[in-house]
């Protein structure tokens, strides 16, 4: 089953993230515009990656605009009657907010910073949802001042805080994030639909129902629906269908107890993608078909009208559109294994250290006649856990100065980046139709020194 179709202009041979793709298909998880030329030249969006590395330095993150837009359109096609909100936590910059707005998607933000950046880029605030398990006073003040479309309530204390802040200027539309008691996701640290974690209000113990009752008694608040988010890197449709049944059941109980029919149901995101050839990915078309069928069936059984569906993909939109390019600094051979060290690492990609994720890097800019050997790609930082890719094949003649490219790096890389060891964060360069342009400049030592005002 496939996740996303190719853009019409693509030269790639298969859709990005094809489930069951052959491990030998080395471009299976690259942006669909990726092409390979003689002598190892690799182009994304018609631009050679080696040229980007030379002009912008390394590490550098390359973002394929066509891939982002095509994935937005795939969601719009698969869920024609739903609201699609891009989850900004995966990655956000001004240009990306502009692309998302042009493609007709909304935004899901988690902070005043994400919210301000989006709105000051021209994004309509009424198409924004604010999330967060512990929203700061600044988060709520900014959301109310900018008049966001909805605030998702995650804890009972927020109810009175938001109602008081709204005052006579309301009502403010809100949703309630409920915990449906479903464990799903690629790693225990990114499973958010089960009972024992910090997000949401439990259906099982009655906290969700109690919060809903309190919200309905607040004239400053307008409860538009229920929200849940099951986790991340989910590749199976079944958890979403179970969530639909449980949330519709709660909607029916609200109608029976309070006479209120909620018009919206938000299933969050967490749609899994393939990071290496042959890995599974969530089929968006199948997800849409089965979720719509389950929603219609569950609502019919409960005697409820079908609510408006909201979906919040993040990784599945931006992840496969990103490529990270590093320069190799050192190759160290030990009796146990070979280490290939690059000029980035956990400061621009903490995911391997956090979740143990795996990638499929490759040498670019030259074609090697050497046989492949299994190596461990490591970063430059003073941590033994600074490993970017473990036990991956690279040419045996890999040497300092080579360029190493890592696909599927658009999500949760720069969004979680740091300046550890006072190494500045990399720039972001967009590619489209043979042209490259800088979106986010490199963080320099001057930037870092300017923040240090202690002397």
Assess contact for 33 and 16: CB atoms under 8 A.
no
Number of domains the chain is built from: 2
Q: Could you tell me if 355 and 289 lie in one domain?
A: no
* 88 lies in the same domain as 39: no
By CB atoms closer than 10 A (0-12, 13-18, 19+), residue 15 is buried
Shared domain for 323 and 254, answered yes or no, is: no
Whole-number pLDDT of residue 3: 35
Output the pLDDT for position 363: 96
Considering only CA atoms, which of 195, 181, 180, 173 is closest in space to residue 262? Answer: 173
25 pLDDT higher than 70 = no
Residue-wise pLDDT for 400-447, tens only, equals: 999 999 999 999 999 999 999 999 999 999 999 999 999 999 999 999
Residue 9 is predicted with a pLDDT of: 34
299: annotated active-site residue: no
* Lookup: tokens for 416: 């979680």
- The reply to whether 250 and 324 lie within a common domain is no
Whether the pLDDT of residue 24 is over 90: the answer is no
Average pLDDT over every residue of 172-182: 91
Task: State how far the Cα of 345 lies from the Cα of 348, in Å rounded to an integer.
Answer: 6
Spatial contact of 207 and 217, defined as CB atoms under 8 Å apart: no
Q: In whole angstroms, what is the distance from residue 63 CA to residue 207 CA?
A: 42
**Cis omega before residue 59 (within 30°)?**
yes
Residue 46 has pLDDT above 70, yes or no: yes
**Residue 341 dihedral angles phi and psi, to the nearest 5°:** -100, 135
Q: Is 271 inside any structural domain?
A: yes
Final residue belonging to a domain, choices 317, 338, 357: 317
Q: Pick from 317, 333, 359: which residue ends a domain? A: 317
- Does residue 166 register a pLDDT over 90? yes
131, pLDDT greater than 50: yes
The answer to whether residue 99 sits within a structural domain is: yes
Residue 188 has pLDDT above 80, yes or no: no
- Region 267-280: what's the mean pLDDT? 94
User: Region 377-386: what's the mean pLDDT?
Assistant: 95
As given in the structure block, the two tokens for residue 212 are 């809903």
Do 77 and 144 sit in the same domain of this protein? yes
In a domain, 20, yes or no: no
The 10s digit of each residue's pLDDT in 140-156 is 999 999 999 999 999 99
The whole-number average pLDDT for the span 247-264 is 96
Name the token pair of 183. 């464990």
Q: 68: pLDDT confidence band, cut at 50, 70 and 90?
A: very high
Q: Given a cut of 50, is residue 194 above it in pLDDT?
A: no
How do beta strands 150-153 and 172-179 pair? parallel
pLDDT in tens, 200-252: 898 888 889 999 999 999 999 999 999 999 988 999 999 999 999 999 999 99
Based on the domain organization, do 43 and 151 belong to the same domain? no
- Which domain CATH number covers 437? 2.40.37.10
283 three-state secondary structure: coil
Q: How much of the chain, in percent, has pLDDT values that exceed 90?
A: 82
Please tell me whether residues 58 and 92 are part of one structural domain: no
Task: For residue 221, give both structure tokens.
Answer: 């608040």
Cβ burial of 122 (10 Å; 0-12, 13-18, 19+) is exposed
- What's the whole-number mean pLDDT along residues 9-37? 60
Q: Would 24 be classed as within a structural domain?
A: no
- Residue 63 pLDDT: 98
186 and 295 belong to one structural domain = yes
pLDDT band at 357 (very low <50, low <70, confident <90, very high): confident
Same domain, 51 and 149: no
Domain boundary at 286, 317, 348, which?
317
pLDDT > 60? residue 184: no
Q: Report pLDDT for 312.
A: 97
Q: Residue 328: its pLDDT value, please? A: 98
Q: Are residues 312 and 338 in the same domain?
A: no
- Provide the whole-model pTM: 0.91
pLDDT at 182 over 80: no
DSSP assignment of 307-361 equals: PEEEE--SHHHHGGGEEEEEEEEEEEE-SS-EEEEES--TTT--HHHHH------
Q: pLDDT, tens digit, for every residue of 262-273?
A: 999 999 999 999
CATH number of 236's domain: 3.20.20.10
Q: Which two structure tokens, joined as six digits, stand for 39?
A: 């002598």
pLDDT at 170: 76
Query: Are residues 56 and 69 located together in one domain of the fold?
Result: no
- Categorize the per-residue pLDDT at 168 as very low, low, confident or very high, splitting at 50, 70 and 90: confident
The neighbouring-strand residues paired with 222 are 173
pLDDT at 204: 83
Asked whether residue 9 is assigned to any structural domain, the reply reads no
Residue 225 resides in a domain: yes
Q: For residue 298, is it within any domain?
A: yes
Binned at pLDDT 50, 70 and 90, residue 1 comes out as very low
> What average pLDDT is seen over the chain?
90
* 3 located within any domain: no
By residue range, what is the domain housing residue 72? 65-317
Is the same domain home to 217 and 287? yes
């Amino acid at each position: 089953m496939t996740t996303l179709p190719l853009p019409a202009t693509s030269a790639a041979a298969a859709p990005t993230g094809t489930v069951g793709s052959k491990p030998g298909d080395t471009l299976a998880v690259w942006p669909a515009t990726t092409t390979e030329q003689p002598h190892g030249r690799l182009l994304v969006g018609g631009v050679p990656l080696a040229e980007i590395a030379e002009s912008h330095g390394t590490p550098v993150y390359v973002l394929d605009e066509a891939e982002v837009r095509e994935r937005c359109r795939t969601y719009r096609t698969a869920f024609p009657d739903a609201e699609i909100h891009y989850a900004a936590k995966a990655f956000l910059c001004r240009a990306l907010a502009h692309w998302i707005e042009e493609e007709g998607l909304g935004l899901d933000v988690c902070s005043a910073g994400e919210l301000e950046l989006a709105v000051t880029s021209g994004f309509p605030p009424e198409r924004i949802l604010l999330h967060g398990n512990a929203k700061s006073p600044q988060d709520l003040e900014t959301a109310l001042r900018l008049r966001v479309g909805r605030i998702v309530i995650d804890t009972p204390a927020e109810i009175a805080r938001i109602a008081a802040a709204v005052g006579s200027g309301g009502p403010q539309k809100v949703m309630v994030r409920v915990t449906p008691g479903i464990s799903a996701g690629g790693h225990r640290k990114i499973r958010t639909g089960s009972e024992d974690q910090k997000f949401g209000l439990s259906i099982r113990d009655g906290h969700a129902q109690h919060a809903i009752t309190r919200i309905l008694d607040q004239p400053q608040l307008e409860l538009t629906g229920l929200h849940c988010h099951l986790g991340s890197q989910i590749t199976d449709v079944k958890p979403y269908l179970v969530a639909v049944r449980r949330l519709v059941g709660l909607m029916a109980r609200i109608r029976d107890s309070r006479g209120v029919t909620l018009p919206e149901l938000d299933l969050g995101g967490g749609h899994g993608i393939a990071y290496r050839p042959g890995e599974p990915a969530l089929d968006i078309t199948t997800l849409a078909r089965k979720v719509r069928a389950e929603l219609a069936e569950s609502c019919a059984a409960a005697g409820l009208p079908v609510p408006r569906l909201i979906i919040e993909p993040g990784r599945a939109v931006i992840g496969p559109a990103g490529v990270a390019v590093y320069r190799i600094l050192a190759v160290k051979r030990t009796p146990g294994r070979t280490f290939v060290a690059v000029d980035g690492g956990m400061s621009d990609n903490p995911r391997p250290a956090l979740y143990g994720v795996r990638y499929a890097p490759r040498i670019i800019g030259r074609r090697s006649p050497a046989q492949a050997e299994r190596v461990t790609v490591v970063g430059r930082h003073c941590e033994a856990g600074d490993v970017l890719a473990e036990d991956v094949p690279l040419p045996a003649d890999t040497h300092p100065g080579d360029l190493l490219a890592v696909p599927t790096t658009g999500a949760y890389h720069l969004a979680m980046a740091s300046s550890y060891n006072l190494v500045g964060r990399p720039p972001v360069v967009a590619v489209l139709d043979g042209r490259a342009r800088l979106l986010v400049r490199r963080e320099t030592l001057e930037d870092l020194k300017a923040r240090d005002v202690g002397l």
